[in-house]
Amino acid sequence: MTSSANPNPSSRAGRWSRFVHSWISPLLKKSYKQGTLHLHDLYDLLPALESTNLTEKLEINWLNEVKHSNGNPNLIRATLKSIGWGPLLTGLMLIPTELTKFAQPILLTLLMGYFDLCPTISTPYAWILAVATSIAALTNSLIYHKFSSMLKKREIIRCAFRLFLDCIQTLLSHTYISVTFLMMYGTMWSLGIHFDTRFFALASCMLGYMRLSIIDFFTFAVRHLVHFLAARKRIQTFLLLDESERDNRLLSISMMDIVSNRHTEGQEILEEKPTIVKSIKTPPRVLCNLEQARWDPTGTFSLKNIVFDAHPGDLICVIGPVGAGKSSLLQTLTGEITTFDGKVRLYGSFCYVPQEPWIFSSSIKNNILFGNEYDPKLFQRVISVTALDSDLNDLSHGINTLVGDQGIMLSGGQKARVNLARALYRDADIYLLDDPLSAVDVKVSKHIFDQSIKNYLHNKICILVTHQIQFLQDATKIIVLNQGEMVAMGTYEELISTSTSFARLLEDINQHEHEQEIENEKVTVIKRLSEVNSMISENGNQEDDGKPLPINIETKQEGIVKWNVYISYIRAGIGLTLGLTIMLVVYCGQQAFAITSNWWLAEWSNDEGHRHRVYDNCTIANDPKVDRIRSMSENEWNEHRNQRFYIFCGIVTGLFSVTLLRVVITEFICLNAGRILHNKMFQRLIRCPIHFFDMNPIGRILNRFTKDVATMDDNLPLTVFDFLNCLFLVFGTIALVGILNPFSFIPAALAAFAMLLLRARFAHCLRDLKRIEGVTRSPVYSQLSSTINGLKVIRSYHAEHICSREFLHNLDDNTRVNYLLLTIHRWAGIRFDWISLSFIVAVTLLAMIARFT
């Protein structure tokens, strides 16, 4: 569940409210009154849409699929079992939608018979057809939006649009009807087949629906199908990789036993699963009889001939030159490296402290607790033995100080001590410490060794990788590694007296540590962190209330999108004046050609009707045009038809050329603007001070360069096409209808006013939700990046469920925003359709009244 306590009203809304999405109206009112929305204002995610439930279902079904598929599992089958057959059954809703789509042009064609010079239908029948047309349009609108809402809610994979295919689709989409008419009418013209206005209207509507199905929906489906199949293959291949068995090894008081045959070239690797033995009476112990272990079966480096035994109270120091395999030994004990020959047994729980500290973006307190309950006394003791108390006292917010992404606000020594404190607070039986003393100075190093390792862990099994030779005398055993092999083992006195190579190794380590200390003298330990936190505290004017200071909370823009944003985009693409001029010319030209082609076809169809229709029992007012057409000889009529056809060919050619030019120019402007803005953003980023990276997690930066840039490159050109095309199409259609029937300007003005009011009502909320969606997306990237970096620590602490829960929480926050975005789109779409339907009804009514009078 998300952290909010704002129940979703759709769960208790009535059927009609859910059908038309009116349950979201209170959120729209709240956004309009407040002027902005925040994450805590949004409704909670419905339980059926929570990531935890969906993930568990999919995981169970996938495991069953792997188990019962005889080696050929299918991810699609497992997915359908998880989400049910609802998405496929939802497709049945398209049947009445398509039926109403095809019914509308047929009804309109029949209705047009009432407006002929000699009406072919009666007035009552015309009114019935007008009402039926309106009902069909209303039914289509309601069912389509319900279908779209149900389908999108179950959407699993969403793919990006590819630029080249979009150019082709846009070009075909805007010229399809005219080009098809050219071929169809050209064929009829060449065969001498006549047609009339009703045929033209019916064909125009049918071709429009075919354009949506073939050019838009079909290409959309093909693109998504290709990307879906590729994604399914990659995901399924990943899911079929061998699963880790580490969860069982991390159980307290357990034994991990890895046994495998020796791997030789040409032989198959036979690996047994870890044997787990639980016994409450079994004391903690480490048994290692390692003959060979390596990361990769084909790799050259391997650990070999390492044998030792450890009991509670033992301190085993592992030393050796750089690259000797010290860290690899600890990772073999944790199970990160596969053992091919030998046995490794761990009795009891263990904690692993890596050489590279892992800190996640939260407070110091949360980094140490790492999901455990807070015990003030234990916490304070751990802070004291790791020498963090003085550092925390210098911080404005103490243990509640946020450390930033990957602990960017901490020095190397502080991160190492927080990493160690996390392990000590967990109170495990076995501690695997990978050189935690290398990042601190000599004084702090001695304090940590005396207080943490010797005192705090005196009754634990401690295996310490170190280069600090001054602490070797306190070890119960010393293991010397060289090139992955154990060359010596014993106490400090035994090795000094029996091994000359051990003495030389100590000299080499001492020289290396001396050089490292000279480099570390340049680093200030606490000053930078203290100054940054003090500055944030002063600027924020916040009191220390025991809560983490939200220094890395991502903010969002408020209010309308300013015009300078659009101006900057156009200026980056081609220049403001030139860009506006060119786009105005090509879009006006394209719309002019489109309207002209329709008008010319209508005139041609009227001529055909006047020429071949027989007017019986009908009084027709004197019409010079009708008389002229009917009085033409066959040669004159054929010449007239040829003229109509050739001019129409020229109009369609011009339409195709202008549309192609419009596509190329718009894509060029959008691509060029995206490239320039991306380069500017990257240049600004690399010139940012270090303080900027301290304050912003890596996920937030990646969000800008991945999702946001992809939206600018892929979705924005399509949005520009659709917006400008609809804008000029609406203006052109209103102008054409108004010229034919001036009274139509009245309902057109009322419809425009109603749409503007509707837009004003939901635009604030939609804009804020888009911004919040971008803000909630960043933590998903940050969480994923942080989890991958700390995977070894997470596994050793048996904390997969903690990271998974946090990731799903962030994902649910983003999902609930997307769900509300989807709902608002459907809410607005239904109401815009109602306004459009009212406009159509009003125009039809005016036409009926005008014809009747």
pLDDT at residue number 795: 84
Residue 253 sits in a domain of what CATH number? 3.40.50.300
Residue 681 within any structural domain of the chain = no
CA distance 350 to 430: 4
Residue 776 within any structural domain of the chain = yes
Residue 478 within any structural domain of the chain = yes
Residue 530 within any structural domain of the chain = no
pLDDT at residue number 317: 92
Query: pTM of the full predicted structure?
Result: 0.67
The bridge status of strand 315-319 relative to strand 477-482 is parallel
- Using only C-alpha atoms, the chain has a radius of gyration, in whole angstroms, of 37
- DSSP string for residues in 222-259: HHHHHHHHHHHHHHHHHHTSPPP-HHHHTSTTEEEE--
Residue 87 within any structural domain of the chain = no
Residue 195 within any structural domain of the chain = no
pLDDT at residue number 796: 83
Other beta carbons less than 10 A from residue 423's beta carbon: 26
pLDDT at residue number 810: 87
Among 523, 552, 569, where does a domain finish?
Answer: 523
The bridge status of strand 430-434 relative to strand 350-353 is parallel
Residue 39 within any structural domain of the chain = yes
Q: Half-sphere exposure (CA, 13 Å, Cβ side) for 534? A: 10
- Low-confidence residues of the chain: pLDDT under 50: 1-3, 151-182, 184-186, 188-189, 193, 197, 246-280, 518, 520-551, 616, 621
Q: pLDDT digits over 178-221, tens only?
A: 444 445 444 544 555 455 545 555 555 555 555 555 556 666 66
Are the CB atoms for 255 and 282 separated by under 8 Å?
Answer: yes
Phi first, then psi: what are they for 390, rounded to 5°? Answer: -65, -35
Closest CA to 847 of 698, 766, 694, 740: 740
pLDDT at residue number 251: 35
Q: Half-sphere exposure (CA, 13 Å, Cβ side) for 297? A: 14
Among 523, 544, 564, where does a domain finish?
Answer: 523
Residue 576 within any structural domain of the chain = no
Q: How many domains does the chain have?
A: 2
pLDDT at residue number 822: 85
- Domain of 339 in residue numbering reads as 247-348+468-523
pLDDT at residue number 710: 75
Are the CB atoms for 350 and 393 separated by under 8 Å?
Answer: no
Among 484, 507, 523, where does a domain finish?
Answer: 523
pLDDT at residue number 144: 62
CA distance 781 to 775: 11
CA distance 800 to 780: 16
